[in-house]
Every structure is written in structure tokens, then in C-alpha cells.
């Protein structure tokens, strides 16, 4: 059932860095908007200060990579089944700007790795850095016919440079 008011879906935009919210707070808000308001998309933009207008905060612009990391984390929420608390917690409320959120999750949760790609369920395979949605589906489908090895994974499209440390 689609709402008649916005049949194509509703979107919104969050400005990152204009106020003191951490990344965890921003992702919780976005996740809540997806869950309760059924938004089609949340966009993120880094705050750009306007030096000629003293009515806006005189803050420095956040690093562009922060906006990129928030998009990556939001993708994990929407398409990979992650929760905000798996990506960030109270002890680490901001995303690491040096590594992507999926790799950050894997490094913080060594108890979940290595993953046996020949036995693990789809959701577990999705948590492996270097394996995306299409590759995870191909893995689950292909392993019905044969036991998969690294060369099979490479042909499937897995980024072995990243995944090999977690499988």
C-alpha cells in the first residue's frame, strides 16, 4: 500500500556538522525515519559555513569523508541488516574516518570471524568485508552445487583483498 500523498516516496536531508550530534545520533535518527515514517531515502550533506552571514554558526566544515562514512553506514542499515548499535555504540559514537563501517564492525567483532562461506547463512556472509549483496546471494546459490574456494569467490565478484582476512 502506497500513500496517496507521496506515491513515489518521501525523502529528507540531514546536515552533518552544523550541530554537535555524533554519528550514532545521526544514524539513529535516520533509522527511525526509515522505520516510522517509511522514508524512501535520507540524504546527508556536510555543513558548509557561510562566512558573510553572522546569523549562522561560525563552524568549520566537517571532513568530506565523514559524510561518505555516514552514507556507507546508512547503506549497511538499509540493505545489509545491520543495526545502529552494531555499527556504533556509546564507547565509539563516531565513525572511523580511516576505514569503512563494515570493516570497522569486523575489526571490533573478531568473535564473529572467520566465516565459513560454505556453511554460514546469508546474513552472516553479508557481514564479511568485501562481500556485497549480489556476491552473498551468488555464494549461497553456488555452494549448493560445489564447495567454494577462493578462486570461486573471485569469479563471483568478492573483493578478496578485503574478504580473505575474514573467511
Provide the total of helices (H) and of strands (E) in the chain, helices listed first: 8, 2
> Cα–Cα distances in Å, from 9 out to 2, 12, 13, 40, 79?
8, 10, 14, 5, 17
Q: How confident is the model at residue 150 (pLDDT cuts 50, 70, 90)?
A: very high
CB atoms within 10 A of CB 81: 13
pTM: 0.87
**DSSP alpha helices (H): ranges in 9-167?**
23-36, 64-79, 84-87, 101-108, 122-125, 133-142, 150-156, 160-163
Residue 5 has a pLDDT of 63
94, 25 Cβ separation under 8 angstroms: no
pLDDT in tens, 44-87: 999 888 777 777 777 787 889 999 999 999 999 999 999 999 99
Instruction: Please give the pLDDT value at position 55.
Output: 78
Amino acid at each position: 500500500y502506497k500513500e496517496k500523498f507521496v506515491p513515489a516516496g518521501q525523502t529528507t536531508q540531514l546536515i552533518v556538522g552544523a550541530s554537535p550530534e555524533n554519528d550514532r545520533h545521526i544514524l539513529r535518527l535516520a533509522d527511525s525515519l526509515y522505520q516510522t515514517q517509511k522514508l524512501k531515502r535520507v540524504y546527508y550533506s556536510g555543513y558548509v559555513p557561510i562566512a558573510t552571514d553572522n546569523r549562522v554558526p561560525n563552524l568549520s566544515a566537517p571532513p568530506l569523508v565523514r559524510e561518505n562514512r555516514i552514507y556507507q553506514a546508512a547503506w549497511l542499515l538499509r540493505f545489509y541488516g545491520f543495526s545502529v548499535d552494531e555499527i556504533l555504540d556509546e564507547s565509539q559514537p563516531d565513525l572511523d574516518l580511516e576505514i569503512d563501517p563494515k570493516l570497522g564492525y569486523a575489526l571490533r567483532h573478531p568473535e564473529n570471524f572467520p566465516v565459513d562461506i560454505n556453511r554460514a547463512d546469508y546474513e552472516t556472509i553479508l557481514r564479511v568485508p568485501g562481500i556485497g549483496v549480489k556476491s552473498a546471494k551468488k555464494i549461497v546459490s553456488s555452494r549448493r552445487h560445489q564447495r567454494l574456494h577462493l578462486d570461486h569467490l573471485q569469479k563471483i565478484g568478492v573483493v578478496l583483498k578485503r574478504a580473505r582476512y575474514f573467511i
